[in-house]
Every structure is written in structure tokens, then in C-alpha cells.
Amino acid sequence: MKKSNIILAALITCFSATAQKSEIKSSIENVESKVDSVLSLMTLEEKVGQLVQYNGSWDLTGPASELGSKQKEDNLKRGMVGSMLNVLSVDATTEAQKLVMENSRLKIPLMFGYDVIHGYKTIFPVPLGETASWDLEAMEETARIAALESVAHGVNWTFSPMIDISKDARWGRIMEGSGEDPYLTSLVAIAKIKGYQGDDLADPKTIAATAKHFAGYGFSEAGRDYNTVHVGENELHNTILPPFKAAADAGVATFMNSFNDLDGTPATGSKMLQRDILKQDWNWDGFVVSDWGSITEMVNHGFARDRKHAAEIALKAGSDMDMEGGAYESSLVELVNEGKVDEALINDAVKRVLRVKFKMGLFEDPYRYSNPELAAQLNMEEHRQVARDVAKKSIVLLKNEKNLLPLSSSVKNIAVIGPLADDKNTPIGNWRAQGEANSAVSILEGVKNAVGKNVKVTYAKGADLGVGERSFLKPLEINTTNKSGFKAAVDAARKADLVILALGEDAFQSGEGRSQVNIGLAGVQMELMKEIYAVNKNVVLVLQNGRPLEISWAAENIPAIVVAWQLGTESGNAIADVLFGKYNPSGKLPVSFPRAVGQEPLYYNQKMTGRPTNPTDVTYSAYTDEEKTALYPFGYGLSYTTFKYGDIKLSSNEMTQDGSIQVTVPLTNAGSKAGKEVVQLYLRDLVASTTRPVKELKGFELVELQPGETKEITFTITNDLLEFYNAEKKWTSEPGEFQVMIGGNSMDLKTDSFQLN
């Protein structure tokens, strides 16, 4: 045995002994010295190898992609690869790991990454939808289950949570995040990271998480994916970065950078973001993986001359691992030898990768996540129950005229109509990991499961929404002409007591590369809706959607509207739970629904402008052909009961920076059903050294009340809630007057104020 192998073997044995003693708790205190020991044994080539990530598309004959499977296999054997993505099964991950462990000089285990975005096999609501539950415990639980199911296939690293703030419904990836608000998104980020990573990354029931995309991707201009981002420092620090800071503080193992150009610098090549803010100011010790090929794409951006130059820029900027781009692999050794890249920077990147691998316990047992015994964790019945529970909590009731919902027992003849009514694929959504196509409970199935024998359920599709193949990479062709099913649908509607009309978006209308200039009901759906409504006014419109939709006509005419996003495996049952009143809806929008696409980007936490109102002429900030407000604002959602807010009481009207104020509001369930309300706290800094939003969410509480019951809800305002990135580039609060607002959505609020001294 060579000296280096002896030292490494000794290190590994020592780690194994430690592991046995403390079972799964890795000895984090010693991680740094272990990382240094391993690093000291590595050649430059081996170091660069740790910064390379290969795509697997793994089958047992080997990984296939650009390099060719044989060459990839050789590089794995030589220890020239740090991690792989899309290698999915115990056998495949074991085989890949073996190539490294049985052949390479230093035997540094691989990590296996995958886009586990809203579940692995059991699929939960798309992230935008799940955020509508405002239920952080539920969101943590679905991440915990996603982790369990991932490790059942040897996957130990997810590229999630996606915490890009997005205010633009045109952007297809809005469905992957938590919407427009930095405070809510930060809390979701923390919940998700906790769910994925647990308390100990070395626990084989947990996986490493990734905060992505760092940063600004959600602001892609005109909602066009991968487009340039123009944001100033103020917006960057106050809106885009807070969820990432929260993720870093929560100990997220990795970050992913982003494709976009941010004010002239591609984020992947941004030293300011990766080295200065993330690693230095925030003192975060994990590693940054590039987005797919985003290092090499800096050549397209016109920011790098060629792939080698791109590698130099990215490494210097603090991008540690190259996802399937080939830039680091082909150029970093040469760049160091030519003196263009300091080896100390390579060492720092490698240490970051090794640190995560140590924390994951991979050096103790490289196969700990490729354990056939964990396979039983896949798709357990209990996971489906959680999927149903979180799905029903994610549903948002937008309109309910004359209490059409919940459906009364006098409804004996229901027509379930629409292209998405019996669609078992759409609820699985995009970024579906190993969720099987056509595996969800459809609305029709959910309704049939819910009704008794005395209720007649008829089904008519009406029309197709899309035509042809549904797949991750291909654009979806929308049916704009075929209305041959209309007649049967209209007949069914005419004969029914009530119509459940299932419209919206196909799973593959949102997600990566799925930006749209129209966000209404695509194809022939509007026509279908109007024809159905013409013969039966008792219509419950159930929308399935991955983005806010433009639904002004429906909002005006259709008596009941339910937003059911893409809710995952148990979708239809969860929708039926709400429609039939088994669950009283409690979801609230995490994103504004516009009146017209021309309002996008639309968000509640806007700035005041110099001309907010002027009722006498047109010279103020508004539109001449449409209201400027949202059709349904951020935080909005109805219940089958009604909640009454009393007046706000403050414990004091003055506060110092080291003090706090208690703000209390009485909330009464004034209706006849038990229900849950998301009580929301907003603050406004009236005058500051930079302009501040008209209101910002700064707290919320999910409160359950019985009919007639009243509860006092208390929020504590502390200085950290008043801080922002100010004109002096500092996170601080500034003395002055603040407004406090509390209510059940961002527009309908009780107000008071206090002074910060």
C-alpha cells in the first residue's frame, strides 16, 4: 500500500470507529482536520476532479453523455469526478460509487444529486402551490418524506429548495418557488432545508439540500427564461438575497448559481455574489455548484472568450463545482500551471466539497445511501396520506357566491367537465422526479370517491388542452381548433344540478423554459367555459395551474372559483375534500393574480412612486385601460366560515432598537363552521434613506377557530423586522414612524402606527 493510501485508510477506519460509537452522528468538530488531511494527499488533477460533476443518465452499462460513457467511466475510476446527477437506483449509485472506491487512488466518495423538487415518487403540490398552505410544518414534513424516498434510490443530494423570488407570472419557473415575498420564502427555505437535511447530514434518512438559483433568476426580464436581469443593489439586497441568507444561516449544504446575467455580470461569474457576499460576508462554508453548463454558457453571454476563460472566471468568482459543463475538467489544471489561477482558490473549493462529503458521512461509509434496506421507504401509504393532507391545505378558494361551496347534499346530479377533469398527469406537475406519468388521482376520480350512491356523476371532457406528447424538454402544442367535444359537454352541463369545471394549465405549461406571453386559459378553454355557463349558472371552476392566471371573465361571472395548482399524487381526493366540505379551505395566495397580463410583474410590496394617486386626471401611476391593483392579491383566500378582525392594540407607540412592541388583534370566527385563518402582519417604514415598500409581510400565524370563538393573536415586533439594506449599504433599522397592519390578506388590513426612537 502506498503511503497516501495507508493514511487515508487509517482516516477512514478512525471515522468508522467514531461512527459506530455515536451511531449516525458524525464528528463535525473534527471535520476540518480531516478535510485538511485528505487535501494534503491530493494531486492537482485529483483536486480538480472533485470540482467536476457528471450527468449519469445511468444504466448498468455506464453513464452516457457528451464525453461518452467509456471516457466517463475511466475518469470515475481515476477519481476525477466529485459528484454525479441523475443516477437513480441503489444498483446504479452503488455501481458508480464502486468505480471510484475500487479503482481510484484516494477513494473519495461521490455525491449523487437530483432535482427532487416536490417529492421523489410520492408527489406533493408544486412549490408555489404548497407555499399557499402557509403551513411550515407541513412543508418540512413533505421535504422529510422526499428525502426518505430519494435515499431509497441512492440519491443523497437534492437541487432544492428553489428560493428565487418571482413576481412575474409569465416566467415558467414561478411554479418552482414560493412566490413574490422574501419573508415567506425565507421561512419556507428554512422549513425545506430542515426537512431534507434533518439535524444531522450523516443520517442516511436525510439528503443534502441546495439553495438555488444564486441569484436574481426570478427577475428574468419580461418573464422570459434565462433572460437578462436588471436589478439595482437595493432590490438585490432587500428582495432577492434574504431567502438565500436564511438558507445559509440554516446550514444548507450547497448553493447553485444561476444562468442569468445580473446587471452586466453572469451570476456564475459573479465574485460579488459568490465570494464576497455568500462566502465572506455570510461566512458560509458549503460549496457552490454551477447550474447545468452555466460556466461554459458565459461564452454565449459574451463574458468569456472560450471555455477555458469561462473556467478561470467562474473559479475565481467562487463557483466551486462544474455541473456537466466540461469547463473545469478541461481547463483548470492548465490554468493553475500557467499561473492564471492560484492553487489556493482550488484548495478552497475542494475543501468545501470534502467538508460536505464528511458531514454526509460518506467517508465513513460511501454506500450508506445506496442501501437496499432503505427501498421500503419508497411510496409508503403513509406518504400518500401526507400528500393528501398538504394538498388540501394548499387549495385556495377565490370566490364563493351564495355559498355554492361546500356542495350541499341537495346536489344530486353533478357534471364534471373539462380537459383537466380526468387528467391524471397534470397534477404531477413539472419537475416530477420519479413521480409516474398519469399516476395522480384525477378530479373525476376524487369526486366519485367522495359522493355516495345517491349522487349521479357524469363526465365530459369538452376538449383537449394540449395535443401530442408531454415531455420535459418539448414544447406543448395547445389545441386551438378542435371543439368536437363541446356538444356532449354542454348537454351534460344542461342536465346537471351543478358543474365542476376543470380548466387551467397542463403540467408542461410551467417549469423550466416554459415562459408564456399569455397567462389566460389557453386554447379553447375560454369558449368552453362560456358555453357551459350559458346553460348552467351553477359552475364551480377548479383551476389547476403552475402560475397566477388571468381569469377576469371567470372572476366576474363564475360563482365559485378554486385554485388547485398542481397538487400531486392525491390531487383529486384533496380537491374533493374541499369541494364537499370535508376540509374547510385555508390556503392563501403566495403571489398576486393580475387583472391582465400587461400588469406583470405584479406584486403587493411595491414602492409608493411620486404619483401614487390623482383622481382628477391621468397624470399618475396607473393604467388608463385597467385597474392597477391585483384581481386577487397576495395573501388572499376565502374560507367556508368568515373571520372578523377587531382593532389592533399596541403595547406601546414607541420602541427603541433594543426593545420590542407587542401588537395584538382579536380574531373571531363569525361563521358557522370551524376553520383556519392565516393572520398576516405587515409593516411599513414611512420615511427612510432609501424608498421602502408600501407594506412588507413580517409575520403570520395559522389560527384555528371554532364557530363563535375569539382569540387574541399577538405578534412581537423586534428591531430585526425593521431592518433593511439602507443607503449606507448596511442592514439596519432607521428611527422614524412605522405603520403596523394586520389582516387576512395584503389589501384588507387594520392599521396603527408606532415610532422607532
Catalytic pick from 291, 322, 423, 577? Answer: 291
Binding-site size, ligand BGC (CB under 6 A): 6
Residue of 56, 76, 80, 74 lying closest to 66 (CA atoms): 56
Give the shortest CB-508-to-ligand BGC separation in angstroms. 15
Question: What residues are paired with 755 via a beta bridge?
Answer: 654, 737
Report, in Å, the least distance between residue 281 CB and ligand BGC.
Answer: 24
**Which residue number, 163 or 463, has a Cβ lying nearer to ligand BGC?**
163
Q: How far is the CB of 479 from ligand BGC (least distance, A)?
A: 28
Cell numbers 406543448 label which residue? 476
Beta bridge partners of 84: 54, 112
Site for ligand BGC, residues 259 to 278, rule: CB under 6 A: none
Q: Tell me if 508 contacts ligand BGC by CB under 6 A.
A: no
CB nearer ligand BGC, residue 196 or residue 292: 292
DSSP states of 646-676: ---EES-SEE-TT-EEEEEEEEEE-SSS-EE
The C-alpha cell at 35 is 478535510
Residue (289 or 490) nearer to ligand BGC, CB: 289
345: amino acid identity, one letter: L
Is residue 484 packed enough to be buried (19+ CB in 10 Å), middle (13-18) or exposed (0-12)?
Answer: exposed
Task: Dig out the grid coordinates for 131 from the structure.
Answer: 407555499
Report residue 81 as a C-alpha cell. 469526478
CA distances from 675 to 15, 582, 702, 712 (A): 52, 11, 10, 16
Q: CB-wise, 163 or 336, nearer to ligand BGC?
A: 163
Lookup: cell for 518: 399569455
Please, which residue, 116 or 450, has the CB nearer to ligand BGC?
Answer: 116
To the nearest whole angstrom, how small is the minimum distance from the Cβ of residue 667 to ligand BGC? 39
Least gap, CB of 184 to ligand BGC (angstroms):
21
Instruction: Please list the helix, strand and coil fractions of the chain in percent, rounded to the nearest 5, in that order.
Output: 35, 20, 45
Give the one residue of 214, 255, 292, 603 binding ligand BGC; rule: CB under 6 A: 292
The residue among 287 and 292 lying less far from ligand BGC, judged by its C-beta, is: 292
> Between the CA of residue 618 and those of 412, 613, 621, 622, 625, what are the distances in Å?
52, 9, 8, 8, 11
Nearest distance from C-beta of residue 225 to ligand BGC, angstroms:
9
Residue pointed to by grid coordinates 395548482: 565
Least distance in angstroms from the C-beta of 648 to ligand BGC: 41
Position closest to ligand BGC via CB: 159
Grid cell digits, residue 253: 449544504
Nearest distance from C-beta of residue 212 to ligand BGC, angstroms: 6
- The amino acid that residue 434 corresponds to is Q
**Single-letter code of the amino acid located at 397:** L
Q: What's the closest the beta carbon of residue 663 comes to ligand BGC, in angstroms?
A: 39
53 or 641: CB nearest ligand BGC: 53
Residue 129 grid cell:
402551490
Residue 291 in the binding site for ligand BGC (CB under 6 A): yes
What binding mask, one character per residue, do residues 432-461 give for ligand BGC by CB under 6 A, x or -?
A: ------------------------------
Residue 170 contacts residue 515 (beta carbons within 8 Å): yes
Q: Which is nearer to ligand BGC, 159 or 214 (CB)?
A: 159
Closer CB to ligand BGC, 144 or 212, in the complex: 212
State which of residues 46, 73, 95, 115 lies at the interface with ligand BGC (CB under 6 A): 115
d(CA 315, CA 332): 9
Strands 111-114 and 157-158: parallel
* Residue 478 cell numbers, joined: 395547445
Is 685 designated active site?
A: no
Chain positions 464 to 493 lying near ligand BGC, rule: CB under 6 A, are: none
Q: Determine which residue in the list 212, 245, 307, 461 makes contact with ligand BGC, applying CB under 6 A.
A: 212
Three-state DSSP class for 104?
coil
- Reply yes or no: is the peptide bond before residue 211 cis, omega within 30 of 0: no
Between the CA of residue 323 and those of 266, 326, 711, what are the distances in Å? 16, 8, 51
DSSP state string for 247-311: HHHTT-SEEEE-SSEETTEEGGG-HIIIIIIIIIIS---SEEEPPTTTTTHHHHTTS-SSHHHHH
Q: Which of 15, 58, 120, 159 binds ligand BGC (CB under 6 A)?
A: 159
Q: How far is the CB of 431 from ligand BGC (least distance, A)?
A: 8
Q: Which residue's CB is nearer to ligand BGC, number 159 or number 255? A: 159
Q: Which of 322, 512, 577, 685 binds ligand BGC (CB under 6 A)?
A: 512
Output the smallest distance, CB 567 to ligand BGC, in A.
22
H helix runs in 395-464, sequence order? 443-450
Which residue intervals of 501-585 are DSSP H helices? 525-535, 552-557, 571-579
Q: How far apart are the first and last CA of the chain?
A: 69
Cα 541 to the chain's mean position, in Å? 26
Residues 6+ apart with CB under 8 A from 122: 145, 146, 149, 379, 380, 383, 384, 386, 387, 435, 568, 569
Cβ proximity to ligand BGC: between 197 and 745 the closer is 197
Q: How far is the CB of 130 from ligand BGC (least distance, A)?
A: 17
Euclidean distance between CA atoms 600 and 622, whole angstroms: 13
CB nearer to ligand BGC: pick between 86 and 573: 86
User: Is residue 118 a contact point for ligand BGC (CB under 6 A)?
Assistant: no
Active site residues: 291
- Point out which residues bind ligand BGC (CB under 6 A): 115, 159, 212, 291-292, 512
